Structure 1
Amino acid sequence: MIISPVPTIIANLPNPHSSSHDSNLRRVIISLLHKNRKNPKHVQSIHCHAIKTRTSQDPFVAFELLRVYCKVNYIDHAIKLFRCTQNPNVYLYTSLIDGFVSFGSYTDAINLFCQMVRKHVLADNYAVTAMLKACVLQRALGSGKEVHGLVLKSGLGLDRSIALKLVELYGKCGVLEDARKMFDGMPERDVVACTVMIGSCFDCGMVEEAIEVFNEMGTRDTVCWTMVIDGLVRNGEFNRGLEVFREMQVKGVEPNEVTFVCVLSACAQLGALELGRWIHAYMRKCGVEVNRFVAGALINMYSRCGDIDEAQALFDGVRVKDVSTYNSMIGGLALHGKSIEAVELFSEMLKERVRPNGITFVGVLNACSHGGLVDLGGEIFESMEMIHGIEPEVEHYGCMVDILGRVGRLEEAFDFIGRMGVEADDKMLCSLLSACKIHKNIGMGEKVAKLLSEHYRIDSGSFIMLSNFYASLGRWSYAAEVREKMEKGGIIKEPGCSSIEVNNAIHEFFSGDLRHPERKRIYKKLEELNYLTKFEGYLPATEVALHDIDDEQKELALAVHSERLAICYGLVSTEAYTTLRVGKNLRICDDCHAMIKLIAKITRRKIVVRDRNRFHHFENGECSCKDYW
């Protein structure tokens, strides 16, 4: 938030020619406002006193009142005060614009600046910077460009604060060329300017350009290093983000809590539990306070890395829990199939009067989906708008479609899509198509497939689901058409990839991978397991190998799926009875699911697999999902 320098403003304002009494009263009121600026009730009392003594219209008093109301988020009081002020000056406009930005009312901030211009109140650098901040947060490129033009016409000059905000605006709105022009035109490109430019590059997905600016910098502070780590993680470059963190340590730059949160996010995405544990220990060594912000990141890391018990212990240790803390834990429980526990935690949250948000409902509805809690899921969905005043978004509707589809209520799910207040996305249709395939409802499946094929936006996963549906019916020509459409559209299939962490290093495997230096031992172990599992009754489910090839070739294709290779590497490179934790970027197939249950039984290992949808805890020939996923 932009804080106007009060002494400078007061010194520059014209002399009001007030009496000594009025001048002293003004000083007393302003002094009281400074002392009580964190106590809204006291501020209101001081305001009442100012009205009674007729000093509320004094520009100095009005300015301080407006600033304080905005600081304590009494935005309605600030608006009323502003409207009651005769001929508000630029300082009053700037204070209220700042207040709107802090309150999240970016459109109101932009409209107020436009009103100021229409009233011929001359904008200064503070007002322009406040307006541009609103444009950045609202992604209002058009309004930002108009302000840029106004600055050039008025002769204000592109001072450093304005130039920085313009770089940020153009970067956030995806106009990187204009952001670069602004950056290159700055006479002093210090660490702050470079950090803003780096953030702009990352926002546009221009990872290498961001790294280039970073490498050209002479001085790098903690904020800059953190920006690079965060940008890499946001762009899916998790390993590179961790490498930059290691380099940061080598350079002797001390990380802050935001740095650790970014690094923990990378660990969560990679499933790097041991590294995450080391970072947690390192945070203790650095004396980082485990506040709600940090606790949420730790809970998320442990739950996404497969250690839900440690996540629960951390959650229980947080004294003051906010909505993000509850969201992290509810989401973690849902991922691990602990549906009842997730719903119970949601109930506890409501009893503690913590107000849920949209993310909360995505978590608890996912829990209902994974647990087959259809009626309860419906009740929770209905409560969103009726009780909590939260309008459902496409993700929430998608959860309900998934809940109904999983239990075979396909007609109901299809009708639900038709009644929704939003347009169905491709993920929702894929979920229902998958349910049609599982429940072998060909007629409904074809209806959904038609809708999916006609959808204006469809990604590689949706194309593959469509192709697999036709292949499961033996309609190879339809499946081939879908894949041909993919090729013509330049859409590349996301390859199945599994990873396992061994000795703090992440090892990745693709289907049939031969790149690993331990490949001979891996494939020898795989051959051994194929032999042993057949004695346990394993029969390859060749129907899940959806290609027009013979059964023998299908069996070979299934045998080298990436998660099996990752598990085999874990078995040959860790001590007996060690828990294996594997992450996969796609949904685990039925055949691998059946195979891993038997591998866990034969090797007496606990094997935890995180696929795209959830965690599977395999132990003693069983899975935590009870074959319902």
Structure 2
Amino acid sequence: MSILVLPSVTANLYSLSNSYSHSKAKTNNDQNLRKNLKHVESIHGRAIKKGTEQDPFVVFELVRLYCKLNIDHATKLFHSTHNPNVYLYTSLIDGFVSFGSFSAAIALYAQMGHKNVLPDSYVVTSVLKACLLQRALGCGREVHAQVLKSGLGLDRSIALKFIALYGKCGELDDARKVFDKMPERDVVAHTVMMASYFDHGMVEEAIRVFNGLKTQDTVCWTAMIHGLLGALELGRWIHMYIHKCNVKFNQIVAGALINMYSRCGDIDEAQLLFDDMKVKDVSSYNSMICGLALHGMSIEAIELFREMLKQGIRPNSITFVGVLNACSHGGLVELGFEIFQSMETLHGIKPDIEHHGCMVDILGRVGRLEEAYNFIERMGAQHVDDKMLCALLSACKIHRNSEVGERVAKRLSECSRMDSGSYIMLSNFYASLGRWNFAAEFREKMEKGGMLKEPGCSSIEVNNVIHEFLAGDLRHHERRSIYQKLEELNYLAKLEGYSPATEVALHDIDDKQKELALAVHSERLAISYGLISTEPHTTLRVVKNLRICDDCHAMIKLIAKITSRKIVVRDRNRFHHFENGHCSCKDYW
């Protein structure tokens, strides 16, 4: 047994595994990652020398640790192991999912079946997470059939994953069958089922599910409201339903509604709710400050922060994330630094990685890129992660500063842990410089790692139904009318002086192909559908999962002017309120 033969190896592995599990900061930091990776590699080397590299415990802990540090190392070790067991498969599948390699996770699970390794509930839950994130309905059905055939049974965690998968893929009858067969259905199960119905505009079915709860307390209502994010009309309906049921309107329910309204694009309604609250706590202020910041209402967010301090309410870490984001969106650099410094000196809160990221964003957005890079250099390695570097690299691309960008790109490419977003950012940066060989190299590395680019997706709610569009989507039943409207908008926009910004189409193709690619971006399809399916002068609200590109931003300003519509678009960074040819972000996002 390894525990006797190699006590130092097993003890070190156990200790490392626990420390990595309980210290998120270590996994977020590039310098620590490299240090920890070398540490694990040294233990791995000692295990090989002692001849215990095939010991089940040693292999399992090594794979788990490598999955947190370097997925390639984990994969190589797994494939060099004789007869890997279900625990080893689970560990690597979890690793693939955490690195965004969903296809690789699903493929490994399929391999497990071919090797006649019997699954357990843990590995099934892991692969279903990959299926959900990939929307791999066919694979999910195969897993479901296998689970039923193997006699595993649908325990709570597996059932929840199946409900979410079927719901996300529009298979609501199947989702409901799984829900109904659960022996015990708690608040979480009801919320997942309700969210599936809400996503597809099936309000009455969602309410029936809610009414099936044995207790309808504050926790239930709050969970239900959080399930509505992105569906404004449904949120309004639930708000009225709460009044109808005479639910006690406390700080928790009010805070959830404020959060829902602000994230669904109706910041005015969120403000009214906040103003009507008789008693406000730090959570209430945080919801409103973060909502205002998200909508680019920087001055209002900062004034609310100052009001909060006057009321004697002590801010917390979340408060400062909101107010620093407000400074970033408003270009308020000096004020941002003043508030950042006051965190520790006046409020006794030590800034963490998110607050440092806000400061890098503040400098990057106004083009003070050298200062932003120096800020990263000064802050200490423990506060730098790949997300912060991606934000600065994006700012370098926007401000066309290749010199600083090259330094940031080099540092980002050396990170031990990179997700698909990091690879895409690097590829896009080099593509924007016309260096297609470098761009292709990072795309290739991403694909070899089993990672997929997150496709651009935009959604719009019409008559309580959420309609989703991908770029160039042809799935919608009204696609002919949508593309006719899009063609009409392109013609009218060009009369207004619109010229496609083909430089943002980051592929090595000619300008005509780039123009065609830009013309069918998902947000344009969603807006076109909104225009043909709603009354004139109705506000359109679109949610996009990625950052809106410069070309679409310019186009939507003109669409708002041409159609006399207000168009609200939420992208990954913030809300954009387009009206009469202008945007609330003042072309600064």
1:245 aligns to 2:245 (yes or no): no
In the other structure, the counterpart of 1:590 is 550
CA distance in 1, matches of 2:164, 2:564: 47
Judge which range, 200-209 or 495-504, deviates more: 200-209
Pick aligned residue for 1:259 from 209, 220, 224 = 220
Take 2:475 and 2:335, find their aligned partners in 1: how far apart are those partners?
48
Question: RMSD value over aligned CA atoms?
Answer: 3.0
Question: Which residue identity lines up with residue 189 of structure 2 in the other structure?
Answer: V
Aligned equivalents of 1:523, 1:179: Cα separation in 2: 41
Residue 442 of structure 1 deviates from its aligned partner by: 0.8
Most deviating of 335-344 and 414-423: 414-423
2-side partners of 1:353 and 1:205: how far apart? 45
How far apart are the structure 2 equivalents of 1:464 and 1:237? 33
1:358 aligned to which of 292, 317, 332: 317
* Structure 1 unaligned blocks of 5 or more: 1-173, 181-195
Q: Following superposition of structure 1 onto structure 2, how do residues 571-590 of structure 1 map, counting pairs within 5 Å?
A: 571-590=531-550
Amino acid aligned to 2:578 = F
Using the TM superposition, give the Cα deviation of residue 385 of structure 1 relative to its aligned residue in structure 2, in angstroms: 1.2
Counting matched residue pairs gives: 435
1:605/1:210 CA distance change after superposition, 3 Å: closer
Report which structure shows greater RCO (CA 8 Å, sep ≥6): 2
Deviations, residues 462-487 of structure 1 (Å, cap 9, x unaligned): 21111010000000000000000000
Superposed CA deviations along residues 350-385 of structure 1, whole A, max 9, x for unmatched, are: 111111111111100000000000010001111111
SS of the aligned residue for 2:536 comes to: coil
Unaligned regions of 5+ residues in structure 2, if any?
1-97, 99-119, 126-153, 167-173
Q: 1:205 to 1:407 in 2, by over 3 A?
A: farther
Q: Determine whether 1:305 maps to 2:264.
A: yes
Structure 1 counterpart of 2:281, from 300, 318, 322:
322
Q: Summarize deviations over 1:327-361 as a string: whole Å, max 9, x none.
A: 00000000110001101101111111111111111
Aligned with residue 617 of structure 1, among 555, 577, 580 = 577
Q: Does 1:562 align with 2:522?
A: yes
> Aligned in 2, Cα 1:241/1:571: closer, same or farther, shift over 3 Å?
closer
Contact 1:540 1:591 in 2 (8 A): yes
Give the Cα–Cα distance (whole angstroms) in 2 for the partners of residues 623 and 219 of structure 1: 49
2:133 alignment counterpart: none
Give CA-to-partner distance per residue, 1:104-143, whole Å, 9 cap, x none.
xxxxxxxxxxxxxxxxxxxxxxxxxxxxxxxxxxxxxxxx
Distance 1:462 1:628 in 2: 22
Aligned counterpart, 1:608? 568
- The letter for the 2-side match of 1:227 is V
> What's the CA shift for 1:259?
2.4
Following superposition, the deviation at residue 258 of structure 1 comes to 2.1
Deviation at 1:265, TM superposition (A): 1.6
Distance across 1 between alignment mates of 2:548 and 2:194: 25
Distance 2:573 2:201 in 1: 24
> Is the 1:202–1:210 contact (alpha carbons within 8 Å) kept by the matching residues of 2?
no
Looking at structure 2, the residues matched to 572 and 238 of structure 1 have their Cα atoms a distance apart, in angstroms, of: 23
Matches within 5 A, 1:413-428: 413-421=372-380, 422-428=382-388
Please tell me the residue identity of whatever aligns with 1:490.
Answer: G
CA drift of 1:453 comes to 1.0
CA contact 1:241–1:263 (8 Å) conserved in 2 = no
Paired residues for 1:436-585 under 5 Å: 436-585=396-545
- Render the CA deviation track for 1:529-562: whole Å, top value 9, x for unaligned: 1110001000000000010000000000000000
Q: Paired residue for 2:38?
A: none
Q: Distance in 2 between matches of 1:332 and 1:584?
A: 17
The one-letter code sitting in structure 1 at the alignment partner of 2:181 is E
Any conservation in 1 of the 2:193–2:209 contact (CA below 8 Å)? no
TM-score by length of structure 1 reads: 0.65
Task: Specify the alignment match of 1:430 in structure 2.
Answer: 390
Task: Describe the SS at the equivalent of 2:384.
Answer: coil
**Superposition deviation, residue 419 in structure 1:** 2.0
Residues 333, 486 of structure 1: alpha-carbon distance in 2 compared, 3 angstrom cutoff: same
State the distance in 1 between where 2:541 and 2:321 align.
25
Q: CA 1:376–1:202 in structure 2 vs 1: closer, same or farther (change >3 Å)? A: farther
Partner of 1:119: none
Shift of the 461–598 alpha-carbon distance from structure 1 to 2, 3 Å rule, reads same
Q: Does structure 2 conserve the Cα–Cα contact (< 8 Å) formed by 1:499 and 1:509?
A: yes
